[in-house]
Amino acid sequence: MVYRRFSVGITFRILLITTCIFLGLWLYFSQGLLLAPAILGLLVAGIVGEMIYYVNSINQKLARFLDSIRFADFSSSFTSDSKMGNSFREVNMAFNEVMEVFKQTRAEKEEQMLFLQVIIQHINTGIISFNAEGKIGVINNAAKHLLQIPQFRDISDLGKLSTKLLKEVMEIKPGQRISHKVNSNLHLIIQTTALKMGGQSWTLLSLQNINAELQSNELEAWQNLTKVLRHEIMNSITPISSLVESLRTILDEDSYVQKEGMLIKKDGFQDIQEGLDTISNRSKGLVNFVNAYRDYTNIPIPEKELVRVQDLFENVLNLMKEELKSQSVFVKTELHPKELEIQCDRDQISMILINLIKNASESMQKLADRQIILRGVSQGDMGIRIEVEDHGPGIVPEALERIFVPFYTTKKTGSGIGLAISRQIMNLHRGSLVVESEQDKRTVFSLIFK
């Protein structure tokens, strides 16, 4: 409606100007009049000026409206010019309505921004953002409290706390997580996210001090270890102590003093021999237990390299070829994609796979169809997964929760240390070892590399 009125107004003025010009020319050339054409000329000039003002008025209002949006100045208001009449009243009302909407939207965004800032400042997780030049954008109170760095304005200032931490933060990729121990009171878990804002690339860090949780878990681990050590040591020391007392009694009752020495009855001598053999066996068992504990606590740092998963599988299966053949176990390999590669310590991961395949083959001894599936799968951003799957009897729920506990075993022979060492190796690779099991259906151990 407004634009139709505008078109009608412009058309009317153009027709009026054209009519005045032709009428003035006719009066001048046909009637020989001068005054009338001069008056018409002045009228035309007035109409042209008024039309220019008429057009420029809306252009000026539109320009002021766009400038208000550009500079986020929503305090402007638009009123009808008395010289324009009511032609553009609807335009002014539309401008004012749009400005009001922008004003409300801006107020809501400011409230949301204030709300987010309050949340960021009050959460217990440290938050830091920095751009490509290293300039700090946002840092909350939790981060300031954790890092205790005065005048923290650039990410390079993180080097004041730890140069190694700064290096790790600069090398971390979006979505990754790192763990760094700064001192005895500060052990940080750091996660990162990349984002773009205001045409700039920003990196967002979240920091958590897990020192208290680690100390709590460490205490619990020591308590559990003490229970295991006490149980194993007592299992060996108690019968040894009992046997020593029995042997002393045998010596007292079955031995006789003679001039040239001691005389022991045959039965007593045999009992002493059996007792000494038992003490020897229990002592060896205790030594083996201590050696297993030493192996668990002395795993070397992984020497990572880029390894083709297919080569890894072939190497493991070649090493176990005769053992698997003797047990009538067939291993099927699957790779998705075929050229799958992982960063790992080849020897350590091979040791895990050998242990898992051996456990799987032992679990299927009573089955006719003994097949193990060795699978490698790329999960995109979620990393790479290597699976060892068997269709044996499975693992009971009670054992499923404890199979990774050191020295826990469900087998009559075994130290119960293999799976615990395997999980520790995966932790050193910054990955994980998990298990899923359905009784009498299948069991899947998964090595997850992130």
pLDDT in tens, 332-387: 999 999 999 999 998 889 888 988 998 888 888 888 888 999 999 998 878 899 99
CB 417 within 8 A of CB 292: yes
Q: The tokens of 286 are what?
A: 């205790």
Q: How far apart are CA 235 and CA 325, in angstroms?
A: 37
Among residues of the chain, what percentage have pLDDT more than 90?
10
DSSP state letter for 410: S
Query: Which residue do the tokens 């990774």 mark?
Result: 404
Question: What domains are there in the chain, each with its CATH number?
Answer: 2-109 (no CATH), 123-209 (3.30.450.20), 214-297 (1.10.287), 305-449 (3.30.565.10)
Q: Tell me the β-bridge partners of 442.
A: 438
Predicted local distance difference test score (pLDDT) of residue 343:
92
Predicted local distance difference test score (pLDDT) of residue 1:
47
374: left (phi over 0), alpha (psi -120 to 50) or beta: beta
Closest CA to 306 of 350, 346, 335: 346
Residue 20: pLDDT band (50, 70, 90) is confident
Question: Helices 266-297 and 418-428 sit at what angle, rounded to 10 degrees?
Answer: 20
H/E stretch holding 433 reads strand 432-438
Q: How far apart are CA 384 and CA 450, in angstroms?
A: 6
CB 178 within 8 A of CB 210: no
Q: How far apart are CA 4 and CA 216, in angstroms?
A: 78
Closest CA to 158 of 180, 175, 176, 173: 180
Compute the average pLDDT of residues 288-304: 70
Rounded to 5 degrees, φ, ψ at 412 are -70, -35
H/E stretch holding 186 reads strand 186-197
pTM score: 0.46
Q: How far apart are CA 57 and CA 59, in angstroms?
A: 5
